[in-house]
Amino acid sequence: MDQIKLTIDGKAVEVPKGTTIYKAAKTLGIDIPILCYMDLKGLNIENKPGGCRICVVEVEGRRNLASSCSTDVSEGMVVKTSTIRVLNARRTVMELILSDHPKDCLTCAKSGKCDLQDMAIKLGIRNIPGQEFAEMSTYRLDTSPSIIREMDKCIMCRRCETMCNDFQTVGALSAVNRGFMSVVAPAFEMNLEHSPCTYCGQCVAVCPTGALTEVDHTRNVIAALSDPTKTVIVQTAPAVRAALGEEFGLEPGTLVTGKMVTALRTLGFDYVFDTDFAADLTIMEEGSELLGRLGKFLAGDKDVKLPILTSCCPAWVNFFEHNFPDMKDIPSTARSPQQMFGSIAKTYFADKIGVKREDLIVVSIMPCLAKKYECQRDEFSVDGNPDVDFSISTRELGFLIKQANIQFNGLPDEDFDKPMGESTGAAVIFGTTGGVIEAATRTAFELHTGKSLSNVDFKELRGLEGIRHATIDFGGFPLKIGIAHGLGNARKLLEDIKAGRSEFHAIEIMACPGGCIGGGGQPLHHGDSTILKARAKAIYAEDTSKTLRKSHENPYIIKLYEEFLGKPLSEKAHHLLHTHYFDKSKNTFSI
């Protein structure tokens, strides 16, 4: 590869041809300030529209300043990154960006975690000249079940567009209009609800300002907790425990399961349960469904729908309902663990403790924004009463704990309540890409072959590659498994199935990078794959630490079937634990 020699701030450096000034400076330890630029290295996603001009630098012999994030180095280039001219330009650029930006920082949902705010602090902005004459951005508020668009606060960095289009291939967002009127919006500037948005929340995860935020349900949770007539129970998704600590300054990958349980109990939840219990239940249903379809296939049934696709990721469900409605009979009909939990809580558990359905409030803590939408789907409620009342994100739980003045890092470890707090190692790995299919494999293998697994670690299913595949020996039958995370990768597998090119028997799909550990509701990972890897490691560590690591060995799941559900795929199980899908391709742009 050609090497280019240049000088940055008086220091000589040699970098490969095609390197940007910004990256070349980085190799020298010079951190040029950036705002719109985003480099998600682990995902091979780079956003460099060169639009904000915060990263400008002086290049000798060049008339104007160059945006370092989008200008490639050239031989003999002499770059100065912090001359007075550069500093003045950055300040002016920042003042202009701020001139029409709302000034409600004190109450903004992004306050304290806002890249724009950080940059204003860094550049020492204290006043904005000409503010009194500046026209303010105004744009209607767009509130969907999961995501709020407050486009007054959009600085047109277009990171969201990059995630939505390049990574997820959802195409809900695009820059529209021009000049002062430009915003990022769905087609025809309709609300997100009428776009192909899957609510994966990756746009929220990368938004540098308060322009894209999650719908805040913490108020509803506080109201429920303070209502003496309600019994309030909570379930926590597997990925939450591997990331919540980051909200309190702990290292990524610090497992805080016990502290989280204590914090939730301190907040006043009557029962602290685990979504992992329902994940074990999901494996019982989904695994049985896989074996059922596989059995038919092996018996020569040509019409059997294979591959079976996992269905626990609500953004993925939204994605295929919008984009592949003709394939909606391929995914498993098993509801997601969140919904299985809600359904069992409001029937079996409510009965057990003698509380009426409407007096039981189910709250879920999720790494996900699509879960907010999922729990509001009509098919997941009974007479208007939802199975899961409120879903809040890992970040929102962080806010709640801080508001309650709980000193999280000093909390002792406590255990989940019984019966819906008991889970196996198979359930906790649901939180990372490859985990659901590994959990399903552990159970399906034993049920199919009648043999006991000597080693439950299917390491060939793990990793952070966007698309992975493995073949597992199912007692002589080679079970071909596919795994994708990120909807762009999922789309490739789906196109293969559609074209009849797919050889897989089972495919796991998760919408977010790394699976739920990189969910849109998690502490912001800024695309740093080392953070995702650390979280995945924590998840697998919790799996290894458990005595029971196969879903069908969870004693409370066995009891649930004995006392209530009968068998997997029984009529009752179908009624409470399965669902059906809709063709949403048509109502997307009906205006």
Binding site for another protein (CB under 8 A): 165, 170-178, 185-189, 195-196, 589, 591
> Could you confirm whether 289 is annotated as catalytic?
yes
User: Does residue 371 carry a catalytic annotation?
Assistant: yes
Backbone angles phi, psi at 56, to 5 degrees: -65, 150
Cβ–Cβ < 8 Å for 202, 240: no
Nearer to another protein, 170 or 461 (CB): 170
Instruction: Closer to another protein by CB, 166 or 553: give it.
Output: 166
| Residue 553, C-beta contacts closer than 8 angstroms, at least 6 positions apart | 424
- Dump strand ranges (E) for 270-379: 271-274, 308-309, 360-366
Query: Rounded to the nearest whole angstrom, what is the least distance from the CB of residue 186 to another protein in the complex?
Result: 5
Closest CB to another protein among residues 70, 174? 174
Residue with smaller CB distance to another protein, 178 or 580 = 178
Minimum separation from the CB atom of position 415 to another protein (A): 47
Nearer to another protein, 18 or 188 (CB): 188
As given in the structure block, the two tokens for residue 327 are: 């394939």
* 3-class SS of residue 67: strand
Q: Indicate the residue among 173 and 361 with the shorter CB distance to another protein.
A: 173
Please pick, among 110, 259, 371, 550, the residue that the annotation labels catalytic.
371
Tally Cβ neighbours within 10 Å of residue 507: 26
CB of 159 to another protein, least distance (A): 15
Minimum Å distance from CB 312 to another protein? 26
Active-site annotation holder among 311, 332, 343, 364 = 332
**Residue among 87, 148, 77, 153 at smallest CA distance from 115:** 153
Q: How far is the CB of 194 from another protein (least distance, A)?
A: 11
Active-site position among 95, 286, 321, 508: 286
Nearer to another protein, 221 or 315 (CB): 315
State the Cα–Cα distance between residues 582 and 321, nearest whole angstrom: 6
Contacts of 487 (CB under 8 A, 6+ apart): 167, 168, 169, 170, 198, 200, 315, 316, 319, 511
With a CB cutoff of 8 Å and minimum separation 6, the contacts of 398 are 244, 247, 248, 523
Angle of CA points 39, 119, 44, to nearest 5° = 5
Active-site residue 313, yes or no? no
Nearer to another protein, 499 or 591 (CB): 591
Q: Which is catalytic among the residues 516, 542, 550, 551?
A: 516
State the Rg of the chain over Cα: 25
Q: Which is nearer to another protein, 83 or 188 (CB)?
A: 188
Catalytic residue among 95, 246, 321, 374: 374
Active site residue 512: no
Nearest distance in Å: CB 51, another protein: 14
How far apart CA 165 and CA 186 sit, in angstroms, is: 12
Active site residue 516: yes
Q: Please, what is the minimum distance in Å from the beta carbon of residue 321 to another protein? A: 17
Q: How far is the CB of 371 from another protein (least distance, A)?
A: 24
Catalytic annotation, pick one of 161, 214, 247, 289: 289
List helix spans (H) across 148-274.
159-161, 202-206, 218-225, 257-267
Q: At what angle do helices 337-344 and 275-298 cross, to 10 degrees?
A: 110
Quickly list DSSP for 391-448.
EEEHHHHHHHHHHTT--GGGPPP-PPPTTTT---HHHHGGGSTTHHHHHHHHHHHHHH
Q: 286 an active-site residue? A: yes
Report the nearest approach of another protein to the CB of residue 70 (Å). Answer: 20
75 is catalytic: no
Q: How far apart are CA 287 and CA 293, in angstroms?
A: 10
Helix axes 394-403, 257-267, angle to 10 degrees: 60
Tell me the sheet residues that pair with 384. Answer: none
Enzyme catalytic residues = 286, 289, 312, 332, 371, 374, 379, 516
